[in-house]
Amino acid sequence: MAARVDHYSVLGVEKGATADEIRSAYRKLARQYHPDTSASEDTERFKAVTVAYEILSDPEKRQRYDMFGDAEVGDLSGFGIDDLFNTFFGGSRRRERGPARGADLRLQLDLDLEEAVRGSEKKVVVPRQETCEVCHGSGAEPGSKTSTCATCNGRGEVRQVQQSLFGRFVSVATCPRCGGAGTTVDKKCARCRGEGRTHAEREVPVTIPAGIDDGQQLRVSGEGEAGTRGGPPGDLYVLIRLREHALFRREGDDLIHVLRVTPPQAALGDEIDVPTIEGDKAKVKVPAGAQHGQSVRLRGKGVPRLHGNGRGDQLVYLDVVIPKTLSKEERALYQQLDAIRGG
């Protein structure tokens, strides 16, 4: 038979303490010794004060205890300390012990206009957390034993009781020791130091669809960070940035190209070869009497449409360049021209 426990002295109150005194003594001690907010060796004391409170706060149980001691109070082994704690302090239980999905990652990828127009296969280097190859994410050295986490007693979470103007409230957080798993390993995996994940820089192939534009984003499924506790990996998002091009400016699915022409070419009309984004040349018909800033459309020489068939156009803008200096002969011809137009 165990020695009789003095529940009054466990709570630090007098035998004739009022219900309020018992209640406030328990509040104080429960916060002090609760396993989630204090060292694990205090767990037994927490149980003791909780048992004491359970008995002394119930007038009927208290009376019987006063008369007969512990033996007559009844079986207390099945009662839930946590339930009592929650009733007393408020707060709810929220478990986050299951598999957790890995984080999504975002990278920027710079492309040449040609690569965006044709589409391409690129490789990006992704720094990320991957599931440890040695322990397969468990964090345990192969062959080591797993035991219940002493910090959270296997609950996977810790609670902090905080005092505010409006009273006490309980905040719940994932256990820092076991990361929410509720278990710890005797021998941590040497490779990942028990993290279950290791850092890696992995080359990930990315398929660039023809027609992609600056600012658009590609999602590569499952290439983000590894999940924890067997959770699925996150996704990789690749943000596309187009480098400036020397000859073309993109406007939606159209490509703008500026063509310099002389006054006679503009006045008389001409046929001129211009570059295209595909690398071959295309003929531009400059109409007679073309104006500065006028554009000529080359159908289907633009960017392939990302969602749909066909391509945009190449727009050739005419830049009529007036010569800054004239040769003697040119000067004579312009003067002659002027005389004709003036007359």
Sites of contact with Zn ion (CB under 5 A): 132, 134-135, 149, 151-152, 175, 177-178, 189, 191-192
If the CB atoms of residues 133 and 251 are measured against Zn ion, the closer one turns out to be: 133
If the CB atoms of residues 182 and 234 are measured against Zn ion, the closer one turns out to be: 182
Q: State the nearest-atom distance from the C-beta of 180 to Zn ion, in Å.
A: 7
If the CB atoms of residues 102 and 312 are measured against Zn ion, the closer one turns out to be: 102
Q: State the nearest-atom distance from the C-beta of 247 to Zn ion, in Å.
A: 53
Q: State the nearest-atom distance from the C-beta of 183 to Zn ion, in Å.
A: 8
If the CB atoms of residues 152 and 261 are measured against Zn ion, the closer one turns out to be: 152
If the CB atoms of residues 58 and 96 are measured against Zn ion, the closer one turns out to be: 96
Q: State the nearest-atom distance from the C-beta of 145 to Zn ion, in Å.
A: 16
Q: State the nearest-atom distance from the C-beta of 139 to Zn ion, in Å.
A: 6
What is the Cα–Cα distance from 58 to 278, expressed in whole angstroms? 87
If the CB atoms of residues 178 and 204 are measured against Zn ion, the closer one turns out to be: 178
What is the Cα–Cα distance from 69 to 3, expressed in whole angstroms? 11
Q: State the nearest-atom distance from the C-beta of 149 to Zn ion, in Å.
A: 3
If the CB atoms of residues 22 and 152 are measured against Zn ion, the closer one turns out to be: 152
Q: State the nearest-atom distance from the C-beta of 45 to Zn ion, in Å.
A: 20
